[in-house]
Every structure is written in C-alpha cells, then in structure tokens.
Amino acid sequence: MDTDLDRNAGMKVFTSRQGDIYLGNVGDGLQKAIRSLEPSLVFILADDDTAQHCVPLVESLADTAIPPIVIASGDQHKTIDSCETIWASLVESGADRESLILNVGGGMICDLGGFTASCYQRGIRFAHIPTSLLAMADAAMGGKTGVNFGGYKNYIGRFENPAFIWTDPTFLRTLPRQETLDGLAEIVKHAIIGSHGLWETISTFDSPESMEWYQLLELNIPVKLHISDADPFEKGRRKTLNFGHTIGHALESHFLHSTEPLSHGQAVTLGMLAETKLAHLTGLLGKEDFKSIIDLILRLLSPCEVTLPTIDALRPWLQGDKKKSGGSVGYSLPDSIGNCRWDIKVEETLVRESLDWVNQVRKG
C-alpha cells in the first residue's frame, strides 16, 4: 500500500490493491473521481438518515437526475428483501453494466450496496461514501459485502472491492454519541491487533469528544488496508480482524429482535472485553497488557450495561458463526498490544467464565 498527498485536491490518498481511498472533503474531488469512471448512469443508495443529511451534497457533485434509492435505517434491514427493492429500482431506471452505484451511508449501506451491485447483471461498479465513523474506520474497507440471513450476521455475501472510497470526516460533525463510540470501537480493535503506534495515540485522549478524527483515520486506514491487502479472502492473518466479533456477533444476533437491540459497536465492545479476558485466561495475554486494554475500553468506549446472556443462550449463535471451521469456532485473541493470533480453540468453560466476568467488571 502506498500513501501520498494529492496536492491538487488537498487531501490524503491511500492506494492499495482495493483501489484508492480518499481522505478529505468530498467537495475537493468527488466529482472528478466519479467522472474518471465514465459511468453511463449514476445511482445513489442511502438510508433514511443519510438521505436527509448527506445525500443532497453528494447528489449535487454526482450530477445525477435519478432519485436516490432509500432503504430504511437499521441493520435489521440489511436483508435479501432490501436487495430485491434495490434491484427493482435499478431495472426500472435502466441501469446497465456501465452504471455506478454510490453507497452513501454507514456500514449497513456499504455492505448492502456492495453486495447488491456485485450481483446485479453479474456485477456493476460501486463506490463507498461512508458517513459513519464505523464505516470510515472499518466497514467500507476490505471488500466484504453481504446481508444478514436467518438471524446470522453477514451470512450471505461476496468479496468485491469498490471502485473507490471517499472518506470525509466532516460527515461526523452531527453523528450521535453512540454512533461515534461504535466507530471508535473498531479503531481500538485495529490498534489492539495491529498497531502499537495507533494504540499510543488513542491512549493520549481522555474522551471521544476530545479526539481529532482526521488524525485517527489517517493512522487507522493503513492498519486495516495492510491486514486486508495481505489476505484478501480471509485465509490467515485477516482473521485477526475478527477480534471481538465472534462473541460480539453472537450478542448482536441474540439481541437483534429484542426490545433493545445492540448496535454493532456496542456488541463488539462487549465482545472485545470478553475475548480480552479469554486471551488472559488462556495464557496468551500478559497481566499488564490485559489491564491496559480493559482500562482503555472501559474509559473510552462506555460499554453498555446490558446483562450478557449465558453461554447456553449464545451457543446457537456461536455454533452458527460463519467463521467456524472443522466443527469448532476459532477465536482471534491478542497476545500483546499490537499483535494478535487467530484460530485459537477455547474451552466453553472459559467462554462462560469470560461472560460472567464482563457482567461483573462493569459493576465496578
């Protein structure tokens, strides 16, 4: 991966095997990036929130007269049914294989839009314009697309890279606090598994409100790209990105249709607490790094106070995890700050102990 400063556009450009990732104001070159692809038609996909707050600016730069395709907000709408709605709109508007879809939204829209585009007429081009911190820091990068199925997270999907990604931190100005925490959870994860330098920078901040997002994204993007470029189809090292997500996805699925579903970031934060404890219980992670990780998560990510279910309640979701191989789930666990191992088999009794511990540690 190469990094350079595009002085004409006044922004940072990260070039990788996944395509260019721009870090800067959309007004400084988005129109040029779109035109360079020479699309026959440009479509915009958004959810209820981004259609109101972000699409008007993108729409003016995209120079498209086609009304945006709008999907209801929320991960519960990342489904095949939503794909069918999008496909029907594309057909009705005459989308062909030279068309381009701009996915304007958070991780849900990036996942859903990328998958929909990759299947339409066996694949048309798409670009991500992430508007949430979670999407900017993680979901938009790496070429993963997909939808939920049968209650399982991202169970149907493809690896497909966007034509480009445009990351504009100014979209974060009005982001609700919980959505900020959701994205910060992924940045913390990247620091724990792959960058001691990013960890040291995060550790200097007292709260999310004091953080400079351009600076953190500038440090975070290369970490995600380095890992996903080295292992694009998740056969080895890329599995480290699953830290916090094995238990996290199980929690997210468990609470998905409850009266108070967990956001992805809330579930991953709880998953990182539990899996950090697992790393310590298995002897991988030393006491000092264990304490440092737990202290930072508790201080900066404000883990929600929901009571974690028992291992018996989570077992169906863990056993259905798409990362399972050979009949058992392999965990990705840190062995130090900045390094992580993968495919670690863990006894269920330790998982039970870690869940109980998370319930206790948040009580003080």
271 vs 256, higher pLDDT:
271
Q: Which of 12, 125, 144, 341 is catalytic?
A: 144
Question: What are the pLDDT digits (tens) for 324-353?
Answer: 555 678 999 999 999 999 999 999 999 999
Catalytic status, residue 245 = yes
Residue 219's pLDDT is: 97
Is 280 considered catalytic here? Answer: no
Mean pLDDT, residues 187-203: 97
pLDDT of 322 > 60? The answer is no
Residue 174 DSSP one-character state: G
- Mean per-residue pLDDT, 21-34: 95
Mean pLDDT of all residues in 111-138: 98
- Would you place residue 17 in the very low, low, confident or very high pLDDT band (cuts 50, 70, 90)? confident
Going by their DSSP bridges, the two strands 19-23 and 164-167 should be labelled as parallel
Per the annotation, the verdict on 128 as an active-site residue is no
Give me the residues paired with residue 270 across strands. Answer: none
3-state secondary structure of 256: coil
pLDDT in tens, 38-69: 999 999 999 999 999 999 999 999 989 899 99
The question of whether 363 is a catalytic residue gets the answer no
**Whether residue 249 lies in the annotated active site:** yes
The share of the chain scoring above pLDDT 70, in percent, equals 95
What pTM did the predictor assign? 0.91
Q: Is 288 a catalytic residue?
A: no
Give dist(CA 169, CA 299) in Å, integer.
23
SS3 at position 32? helix
The yes-or-no answer on residue 242 being catalytic is: yes
Query: Side chain identity at 347, as an amino acid letter?
Result: E
Q: Which domains does the chain have, with CATH numbers?
A: 2-174 (3.40.50.1970), 177-361 (1.20.1090.10)
Which of 66, 45, 46, 37 lies closest to 163 in space, CA to CA?
37
**Which letter does DSSP use for residue 332 in this model?**
E
224 given a catalytic annotation = yes
> Residue 173 catalytic?
no
- 306-320 average pLDDT score: 92
- Out of 7, 122, 235, 257, pick the active-site residue: 122
Q: Which candidate in 59, 234, 252, 275 is catalytic?
A: 234
Who's near 88: CB < 8 A, 6+ residues apart? Answer: none
Instruction: Respond yes or no: is residue 122 known to be catalytic.
Output: yes
Say what the pLDDT of residue 325 is. 59
Q: Are strands 69-71 and 42-47 parallel, antiparallel or unpaired?
A: parallel
- Candidate list 77, 224, 237, 341, residue with the active-site label: 224
